[in-house]
Amino acid sequence: MAGNAGAVLVDSHLWIEFLARKKSRETLEVARLIGGRDVVLAGPVLFEVLIGPRQERQREYLQGRLRAFPLLPATEEVWLRSVDLGRLPGVVSRQVPFSDVLIAAHAEVHGCAVFSEDPHFDVFPRLKRHRA
């Protein structure tokens, strides 16, 4: 495991709400984490956030803002862990999206917590979770 203790991988749905300036307990927590420099990104989160904007200008703006945060590498260990996680019974039965499996694998391998309200992440027993 890499040394990212204390780092938090914020899930895409919370980034989208935060960037849309929605006020909630979760988006206030995202702002607090950003201020404390505790936020890291993973490729699937970056993809999900940047695929949404219809206008190229908006996508470029968001991409520029997100560059401020470290991007966790998708190493061979991450890919192999995602295979292990994808084979868990709860993942198959609850139809957990591949992107969530890959986000969980990034967090486990790199030693960070995931901040998400998505119940799909509940199926990963070793996953550290961050709560608002």
- Position 3 scores a pLDDT of 60
> What is the pTM (predicted TM-score) of this model?
0.91
List, for residues 53-62, the tens digit of each pLDDT value. 889 999 999 9
Residue 4 has pLDDT above 80, yes or no: no
Q: Is the Cβ–Cβ distance between 66 and 48 less than 8 Å?
A: no
Q: Is the Cβ–Cβ distance between 72 and 4 less than 8 Å?
A: yes
Q: Which domains does the chain have, with CATH numbers?
A: 8-130 (3.40.50.1010)
List, for residues 84-128, the tens digit of each pLDDT value. 999 998 888 778 999 999 999 999 999 999 999 999 999 999 999
